[in-house]
Chains A and B, each alone.
Chain A
Amino acid sequence: MTAPALETRALVAGYEPDLPIVRGVDLSVAPGELLVLLGPNGAGKSTFVKAIAGVVPIHSGSVLLGEREITRVASHRKIAEGLAFVPQTENIFATLTIHENLQLAAVVLPKAQRSDRIAALYRRFPDLASKPSRLAGALSGGQRQMLAVARALIVDPSVLILDEPSAGLSPKIVGEVFSMLKEINAGGVTVILVEQNVKAALAIASRAVILVEGQIRHEGEASSLLGDPLIAKLYLGTTKQASEAP
């Protein structure tokens, strides 16, 4: 059995040391999966992926990328290991041009590879190639998302994590972004999505995991969850277990 692309074991994490938001999560993501993380607001989905990326402190537990434990690896080294993260807001450098955003991201690559990788990304995202000297801050919401994903792809990551990529985008653009993600996944990259747009996310995902109050409450095939009343219950009403005070 091949090692999971990404695995967390009993992960506990949070901004404050005495206030864990992620309260013991065991997750295993197989290579090539497109996993979506769902859950009501405040469930800790964002905090969970941020902890994996190294932006939020991990209190206990471990994170493994492939066979390698990366729990204590410095945040800026994780992308070099093949773990790319696209945050929800402020995910591009607005004061840098498109090209500079990519050049910055390419610094983790050996010098010889950089221009080739950037050229490859321009081929994949022709919208960005049309005016690379444009300030990233002047881009539309959808274009920004493209740039953010392009930036993350520059290292040819094994795992790509995105935090609510559909946030603030019109339905049409959401469709474009999601089909791009499906393409990336088809190319062999393991993709993990945190999403509030349940319908669009389940349409492209292979598997879904539902997080409530910092813990996994349900896992299942994406297609089977689409019509499941459980989703509505978790999002709109009370959960199966009584919530405890933290």
Chain B
Amino acid sequence: MNPQFLMDGLVAGAMIGLGAIGVTLTYSILRFANFAHGEMLSWGAYLALAVSGGLGLLSTSLTKPIGPFSFGWSLPLAAVVAILLTGLLALAVDAVLFGRLRARGGAIIILVMASFGASLALRSLLEFIFTSKPAYYTKALQIAVKIGGGLRATPDQLLSLGLSLVAVVAIHLLMTRTDIGRSMRAVSENPALAGIAGVDVRRVIRVVWFVGAALACIAGIMTGLLVQIRPYLGHDLLLPLFAAAILGGIGSVPGAMIAGLIVGLSEAAAVQIVGAEWRAAVSFVILVAVLLLRPRGLFGRAA
């Protein structure tokens, strides 16, 4: 068996992990399974594409690949803008839809149903604007370099892995060492008590939407860079994202990344063993196993 699948699995797993952190945060603090989360990845990728393309038109020097990577400065610059815009998109959807349903005090199921509708609308809007034809940030090809152990990786892949690690550490530090992080954890455990203790719960909710969307945006851009950009990018990752968030334990940031890596590696291994067409079933198997055997996941709170 070619050990290269380990590299592929790691890279894919890092993307899934990054997205799963966003899912675990919003799920633990907002308390519902947001089926529209995948669309934040897709929108992030497309927004970065649009801004990057615009920047490229303004100045072609921005499209020249930086060092060993396949993209020019237009992409990192676009990424910053895209993160902001995706965050705003998430806040807008909450203001218009989820926030209103929450205020009415309806059950979780209504929020989940609404998230289907939002997911469908958001995804189809992308299809309408950009069509379903796959798009790419750059036409530059990359050569995979040997990194030892019989494995090869492109500079883009290594950069993505590095960035994912940085992102996980950053979010973990945010949650454990900052006021807002403590407030988020408090709201996740007991929103009513948090309010009594002086936490502005509405503000925390806004922060959570933004952070979740920002992470999704980064994950989407990375997937778009390493694979391709298409409207179903996020939707197709939804099951792996949920599987990873639940396997890691809802509310655990390191858990989500670790679980993401596990899912990515398992998918890559499955592709080797049973074939690529069964890739999507792996997440399902992991999900059912977790829900039946240990619903709180690896690092989650006991119910």
Contacts and interface: CB of A to CB of B under 8 A. Distances in A.
- Are A and B subunits of one complex? yes
Interface of A: 53-55, 74-80, 85, 87, 90-96, 100, 103-105, 107-108, 151, 155
B200 A76 contact: yes
A93 B193 CA distance: 8
B185 A95 contact: yes
Contact of A76 (B182, B185, B198): B198
A104 B190 contact: no
Interface string B168-191: 000000000001001101101110
B182 A104 contact: yes
Contacts of A92: 193
11 contacts: A53-B196, A55-B192, A76-B199, A80-B198, A93-B185, A95-B185, A95-B188, A96-B189, A100-B182, A103-B182, A151-B197
Nearest to A84: B196
B31 interface: no
B195 interface: yes
B195 A93 contact: no
Contacts, number: 67
Given A55-B192, A77-B198, 5 more contacts: A54-B196, A94-B189, A95-B185, A107-B179, A107-B199
B208 to A, nearest CB: 16
A74 B194 CA distance: 13
B294 interface: no
B301 interface: yes
B126 interface: no
Given A93-B185, A95-B185, A107 B193 contact: no
Interface size range on B against A: 10 to 19
B201 interface: yes
Contacts of B192: 55, 87
A75 to B, nearest CB: 4
Given A90-B190, A93-B186, A94-B189, A85 B179 contact: no
A90 B194 CA distance: 11
A151 B188 CA distance: 18
B195 A107 contact: no
A95 B196 contact: no
A74 B201 CA distance: 11
B189 A93 contact: yes
Instruction: List the 8 closest pairs (A to B, CB-CB), nearest first.
Output: A108-B198, A79-B198, A75-B195, A76-B195, A104-B182, A76-B200, A95-B189, A107-B179
A89 B183 CA distance: 20
A181 B233 CA distance: 59
Contacts of B189: 93-96
A104 B196 contact: no
B118 to A, nearest CB: 28
B281 to A, nearest CB: 34
A91 B201 contact: no
A54 B199 contact: no
Looking at B188, B198, B301, the one whose CB has the most chain A CB atoms below 10 A away is: B198
Contacts of A103: 179, 182
A55 B194 CA distance: 11
A54 B179 contact: no
Interface in B1-15: none
B301 to A, nearest CB: 6
A92 B189 CA distance: 10
